[in-house]
Chain A
Amino acid sequence: MRLSDLLEAEVVDRNGDRIGHVHDVRLVQDGPPLGTWGAALRLEGLVVGRGSIGTRLGITRPQMKGPWILKLLFARQRSSRVLVPWDRVRDVGQDRITADCVAAEGHDAFATDDPTPRP
């Protein structure tokens, strides 16, 4: 399974209702040890939302400082994002992923953001 198989795939719930599209995939470094890297990056969950441009540009991340007008424009997108934990994912099809949760569930995907080290 490749990352590109997951990204932009449509996510539907057990009733067939659309939850959104996969914007990103959250990984956590607690998998089995790999070479000199250390613990592998385990797939924790799918970041699912409507629309996609804002997330891709990274404007919707909390630590982005501006420009405020863009943050404003993409604010709605940010609030509509949810994290679907991987253990709720039932099926990964050609362009559609079925998850075992109702469309209204989920919490802000970037709530526990770990920023990467600063230059």
Chain B
Amino acid sequence: MKKLLGVTLGILTAVGGFLDIGDIVTASVTGARFRMSLAWAVLLGVIGIVIFAEMAGRVATVSHRPVFDLVRERVGARLGLANLLASYFINFLTLAAEVAGVSLALQLASDVNYLLWIPLVTFLVWIVIWRVKFETMEQVFGLAGLALIVMAVALWQLHPDWSSLWHSASHPEVTSGEGAPTYFYFGIALFGATMTPYEVFFFSSGAVEEHWQRSDLILNRANVYLGFPLGGALTLSLMAISAVVFAPMNITVEHLSQAALPTVVAVGKIGLALILIGFFAATFSAALETALSSGYTISQYFGWQWGKLVRPKEAARFHVVVLVSLIGAALLALTAIDPVKLTEYTVVLAAAALPLTYFPILVVANDPDFMGDKVNSRLSNALATGYMGILVVVSVATIPLMIATKGGA
């Protein structure tokens, strides 16, 4: 019984923790602009993250080595350093976007400008990392993120034309008035928002932090196979409610408040409260994860002691990196750079960098010296290799599309 509770908790945490500012922004923007015709990009992303998160979790559990530790070992010091610089940079931008996201959620709740919230938010993120236990952190914010289920409720309450929504999703086509490059650009954005690399750094480091044993592999699989798709369903709900409310009037989503609007329209005051709690929890937990990931990536490349599993003074360099990254990200957010635009660019860059993160995982997952008898099955190899092909295509297409569409204008 206790085991079942643990499994359920894990799944719920995965669902609630799935969305971040990237998913919220891209789902609302694309829903308003393309209706459901980019739903396939979310689906593709969910399948991808399920495959690779399971693999990364398995690798971390069996070899007791988290992802970035293995990146250097597998691709060498030079390529590993290039990988580190790219991953850290994207992670840094994501952290700034998440901190801005939390601040925006607080602005929506309080009418106090988001810029004024940034210093407090940064401090809160840091203090939670400094003092709160890993598991507690994950569970509290993961479960609070379940408030976002209100978006699915909102979809129901809006009484949409279901067949029209389904038609839009199952017959993807470039919406009239948009060009094909823009369509695919936003497809890449959605894909990148769903397959975020920091998720994998965090997940695999967490598996090592929490001392996962082989017996936890089933737990890992449950979280990933059930939790992530349900999280993806929430993303699609947000896309759908944006499509229903904004698309008919040709409104583009440019502010976080617009992402919340459909829920408020459909469910009223309770909807507003729940969606604000949900946005806050989603962005705050993502801020925690990306802040920790800044520390994980650099520490794991250089071999420094990392993590919350030891006293801070035993992992001094790790904590200094986390602190400096947080302060830097806050400063970037304080330049009043448009958080929505920042988020859009960041998820697209993250999509371009995906092969860097996932390729070493695939190679190590096949190495019996690390994995013993838990090496990839033929099926997972076939799927994962297929995905690597997709990731490379996406990666190559990103920058040209970004230039061609002027950043999705």
Contact = CB atoms under 8 A, between A and B. Distances in A.
A11 interface: no
Interface in B357-396: 362-363, 366-372, 375-376, 378, 381-382, 384-385
Interface string A10-24: 000000000000000
B372 A67 contact: no
Dominant SS among interface residues on chain B: helix
Interface in A94-119: 115-116, 118-119
Nearest to A115: B369
A119 B62 contact: yes
Interface residues of B, number: 22
A59 B363 contact: yes
Contacts of A34: none
A63 B372 CA distance: 11
A37 interface: no
A118 B363 CA distance: 17
Contacts of A59: 363
Interface string A55-81: 011110001111111100000000000
A69 B382 CA distance: 9
Dominant SS among interface residues on chain A: loop
A65 B75 contact: no
Q: Name, among A65, A68, A116, A118, the residue most crowded by chain B CB atoms within 10 Å (CB to CB).
A: A65
A58 B62 contact: no
Interface string A34-61: 0000000000000000000000111100
A33 B148 CA distance: 64
Nearest to B388: A67
B375 A58 contact: no
B1 to A, nearest CB: 32
B76 interface: yes
Given A56-B75, A57-B75, A70-B385, A64 B370 contact: no
Contact of B366 (A56, A65, A116, A118): A65
Contact of A64 (B75, B367, B378): B367
B369 A63 contact: yes
Interface string B30-55: 00000000000000000000000000
Contact of A67 (B75, B366, B369): B366
B376 A66 contact: yes
A58 B381 contact: no
B362 A67 contact: yes
A118 B381 contact: no
A68 B380 CA distance: 12
A58 B368 contact: no
A58 B74 contact: yes
B174 to A, nearest CB: 32
Interface of B: 62-64, 74-76, 362-363, 366-372, 375-376, 378, 381-382, 384-385
Given A66-B375, A119-B63, 17 more contacts: A56-B76, A57-B74, A57-B363, A59-B363, A65-B368, A66-B366, A66-B381, A67-B362, A67-B366, A67-B381, A68-B381, A116-B369, A118-B368, A118-B369, A118-B372, A119-B64, A119-B372
